[in-house]
Amino acid sequence: MASNIVLSEVEYNVVGKRHLRPDGVDKVTGRAQYGADVQLTGLLQGKVLRSPHAHALIKSIDTSAAETFPGVHAVVTAADLPFASLSREELGGEYQRLKLASNHVLASDKALFKGHPIAAVAAESQHVAEEAARLIRVEYEVLPPAMTVRQAMESDAPLLHEDLFTSELGELSDKPSNVASHMAFETGDLDEGLKQADVVLEREFETASVHQGYIEPHNSTAFCNTDGQLNIWCSTQGPFVVRTSVADILRHPVSRVKVTPMEIGGGFGGKITAYLEPIAALLSRKSGRPVKVLMTRTEVFEASGPAPGTWMKVKLGVTSEGKITAADIFLAFEAGAFPGSPVMQGAACALACYDVPNARINGYDVVVNKPKTAAYRAPGSPQAAFAVESVIDEICEQMGMDPVEFRLRNASREGVRRVEGPIFRRIGLVECLEAARNHDHYKAPLEGPNRGRGVAAGFWFNRGFQSAVNISVNPDGTVNLIEGSVDIGGSRASIAQQAAETLGIAYEDVKPTVVDTDSIGYTMVTGGSRTTFATGWAAIEAAEDVKTQMVERAARIWDTPVEDVQYIDGVLSHKSDPELRMTFRELARQLLGTGGGITGASNVDPTGEGNGFGVHIVDVEVDPDTGKTTILRYTAVQDAGKAIHPSYVEGQMQGGVVQGIGWALNEEYFFNDQGQMMNSSFLDYRMPTALDLPMIDTVIVEVANPGHPYGVRGVGEVPIVPPLAAIGSAISHAVGRRIDRLPANPGAVLEALS
């Protein structure tokens, strides 16, 4: 059977061990409370009416029949939002944050994608709310949609926003356009770099819109009390982000909004935007009752935030020794209906794996009549890597070079400056490439017809940002750890481990709890591969605060100067008097009688995030009759810095790989010519099942991040970056034709073969 390898440099007592997660029993017994499970006295059910058109003017909305339908308590439209109808002139610099965000929640004058919310109803039951929503009469003037970047960038394309002007390298253009912005990164001298090259290869790529595919649909329950206190229970990666969004869009004091994050059923970046929360709040304000609003699976596909479809061009120049001298890259990303695709991140990631002296990257953020894109695991990086890594693979093929050796010759390492400016600190790409080269998988020959092997590397920044943790000592020597980071995949464990390690106590003696926005300091989203790094850091600082206070208390009890007391591995002792010694637990028992309890607190914003790299190897077999690709073997290598909980690091790697496999082979938003999504169910939007896959082998490389006490880098996003290119190249080798469009589904592979 397949293998999971951990290459550790440093061993700790608690960190690096495979402990049981604290929320595990609740989650295997069905007792964990997710957002849809919320029950409140007098709870109403909400239903959102959505646009059936991808692009249409809203001429009128008549809600009267819905309002008088038996069992209905409230109906809302954009007229209930304070900023929905204000102009760019009236809002100035707040235009995007307030007006466009309002229009995203509920359309005012224009529907910009099929599924765009138009109105919402709160009623006694879900079925009554659905019936009433159907009674709302909306008069549309249907407009032609612009569905792809290529189409939307044409000069005669239908305009989504009459008041959207291109931000052209920082300057606003004077003519309205679907191109929201054009940004560029440049380094060295591109023309000179191309002259130095012996081989120059230029290729063009396209990828389809895909969805994060979390199994739990969006949900939100809100209760707006008569005193103005607004309470929200929802499924979100960022309760503080939801708090800010709701306060902004509803013009509600932020201090009067409390967001309670329920257990979250997957997110991958797609559960940061507040889609339903402002609607539930409006319905509650109007009805005076708590209101729960749920999305159906179709609504999730049509009206949450997919990852952008793209159009990309990559030109690379390489010497005969296999050294990259130049790169010219064009990236155009779909933003969806409102500006804000991750094209900037895609541009910054595109060449991050390599030391490229001369490069130019142009990025375009383009609005189209699709749902506004949201983050999806390393947003922008998988698409860019598909283009760049595919060109590298083709160059290796042409030059007869080993693809791992080629990457080692060009690999980024400490001191290399990225094209967008930052200089790498200690990173582990070389170590990952070497681990891949040494792996059984890479050494094993791949034999048989219609088979191919692909290799690709991938990069993600990993993030820092704000986190807060409080730790209180219990009389029995355990501690309660309070955090604001939603646990989306085992982070209660990885945070508790870091606190236990720092305090020198057992993992089981730390009880972590995720709390609402009133009960902990500001904590940024669970996303950006930041949680185990930044909230872990907050836990370490809070634990250090506890230690300091425990030392002071011991000094007081022993009537000795603080300087004489030391704290080592959970034991307090006098530096010179061996008689004076207490374990953490013994001192904890005495706290209440010697000055009161102890709570350590921290608010951090760490800047030492460690960049992440991965290298993947995949073997595929393509059926020449059907075009179907089977994954025969897959190995993912990644630098985790330090794997705090190796099982959940492996889980992140395996999960990211499989999402990448789906992206490469099957998943896409399929639209008809009116811009309506035709495959908005899990039957037709084909995500990988257990039957489609082999085991996913992993190698965790540990090159400690110097910017974190235990060396953590963050791991969640890198694993989805290499699969698109690795699989595309593997198929190319299997069938003898390059794959330049994703998904490479059976039809596309047959087309490439014909």
Partner 1 sequence: MPGLVHVSTTINGNPTDFLCEPRQSLLEVLRDVLGMTGTKEGCNDGNCGACTVVFDGRIVTSCLVLGVEAQDKEITTIEGVATPEGLHPVQQAFLENAALQCGICTPGFIVATKALLDREPDADEGRIRHWLAGNLCRCTGYDKIVRAVLDAEDKMKA
Number of residues that bind partner 1 (CB under 8 A): 63
Residues 6+ apart with CB under 8 A from 170: none
* CB of 219 vs partner 1, minimal distance in Å: 10
Residues 6+ apart with CB under 8 A from 681: 297, 298, 301
Quote the CA–CA distance of 515 and 486 in Å, as a whole number: 8
Using CB under 8 A as the binding rule, the residues of this chain from 239 to 268 that contact partner 1 are 263-268
* DSSP category for residue 612: E
* DSSP category for residue 255: G
630 touching partner 1, by CB under 8 A: no
Using CB under 8 A as the binding rule, the residues of this chain from 68 to 127 that contact partner 1 are 70-71, 126-127
Q: By C-beta, is 601 or 687 nearer to partner 1? A: 687
Quote the CA–CA distance of 466 and 526 in Å, as a whole number: 11
Select from 278, 452, 655, 743 the one that contacts partner 1 (CB under 8 A). 655
Q: By C-beta, is 127 or 575 nearer to partner 1? A: 127
Applying CB under 8 A, the span of 29-37, 199-207, 428-436, 542-550 interacting with partner 1 comes to: 29-37
376 touching partner 1, by CB under 8 A: no
29 touching partner 1, by CB under 8 A: yes
Quote the CA–CA distance of 522 and 535 in Å, as a whole number: 11
Select from 115, 145, 193, 217 the one that contacts partner 1 (CB under 8 A). 217
Applying CB under 8 A, the span of 20-28, 318-326, 563-571, 707-715 interacting with partner 1 comes to: 20-28
Question: How buried is 303 (Cβ within 10 angstroms: 0-12 exposed, 13-18 middle, 19+ buried)?
Answer: buried
Q: Partners of 207 in the beta sheet?
A: 310, 742
Q: By C-beta, is 77 or 219 nearer to partner 1? A: 219
Q: By C-beta, is 296 or 583 nearer to partner 1? A: 296
DSSP for 647-689 reads HHHHHHHHHHHHHHHHHHHT----B-TTS-BS--STTTS----
**Token representation of residue 419:** 């094209």
**Token representation of residue 74:** 């409230």
Quote the CA–CA distance of 283 and 102 in Å, as a whole number: 15
Applying CB under 8 A, the span of 316-324, 463-471, 502-510, 654-662 interacting with partner 1 comes to: 654-662
41 touching partner 1, by CB under 8 A: no
Select from 3, 9, 10, 33 the one that contacts partner 1 (CB under 8 A). 33
Q: Give the number of C-alpha atoms closer than 13 A to the C-alpha of residue 166, restricted to the C-beta side.
A: 18
Quote the CA–CA distance of 487 and 23 in Å, as a whole number: 9
32 touching partner 1, by CB under 8 A: yes
> Nearest CA to 720 among 742, 736, 739?
742
Select from 9, 10, 20, 137 the one that contacts partner 1 (CB under 8 A). 20
Residue 421, classed as helix, strand or coil, is coil
Range list of H helices, 239-342: 239-250, 277-287, 297-303
Q: By C-beta, is 323 or 645 nearer to partner 1? A: 645
* CB of 678 vs partner 1, minimal distance in Å: 15
* CB of 482 vs partner 1, minimal distance in Å: 21
651 touching partner 1, by CB under 8 A: yes
* CB of 268 vs partner 1, minimal distance in Å: 7
Q: By C-beta, is 126 or 513 nearer to partner 1? A: 126
575 touching partner 1, by CB under 8 A: no
Using CB under 8 A as the binding rule, the residues of this chain from 681 to 740 that contact partner 1 are 681-683, 687-691, 693, 695-696
Applying CB under 8 A, the span of 96-104, 139-147, 575-583, 649-657 interacting with partner 1 comes to: 649-657
490 touching partner 1, by CB under 8 A: yes
Stretch (H or E) spanning 58:
strand 56-62
Applying CB under 8 A, the span of 319-327, 352-360, 433-441, 646-654 interacting with partner 1 comes to: 646-654
User: Contact, 359 vs 186, CB < 8 A?
Assistant: yes
Q: By C-beta, is 16 or 651 nearer to partner 1? A: 651
* Cis upstream peptide for 512 (omega within 30°): no
Q: By C-beta, is 30 or 421 nearer to partner 1? A: 30
Q: By C-beta, is 193 or 490 nearer to partner 1? A: 490
* CB of 753 vs partner 1, minimal distance in Å: 28
Quote the CA–CA distance of 574 and 108 in Å, as a whole number: 70
488 touching partner 1, by CB under 8 A: yes
Q: Output the CA torsion 114→115→117→122 (10° steps).
A: 150
**Token representation of residue 698:** 């992993």
Neighbours of 515 (CB within 10 A): 15
Residue 745, classed as helix, strand or coil, is coil
Q: By C-beta, is 606 or 646 nearer to partner 1? A: 646
Using CB under 8 A as the binding rule, the residues of this chain from 435 to 474 that contact partner 1 are none
β-pairing, 451-460 with 467-473?
unpaired
Select from 16, 145, 193, 213 the one that contacts partner 1 (CB under 8 A). 213
Burial 17-28 (b: 16+ CB within 10 A, else e): bebebbbeeeee
* CB of 711 vs partner 1, minimal distance in Å: 21
DSSP for 486-547 reads --SSSHHHHHHHHHHHHHTS-GGGEEEEE--TTSS-----S-TT-IIIIIHHHHHHHHHHHH
Select from 95, 113, 205, 214 the one that contacts partner 1 (CB under 8 A). 214
Using CB under 8 A, list all residues that contact partner 1: 1-2, 18, 20-21, 23-25, 27-34, 36-37, 39, 70-71, 126-128, 212-217, 263-268, 296-297, 488-490, 647-648, 650-652, 654-659, 681-683, 687-691, 693, 695-696
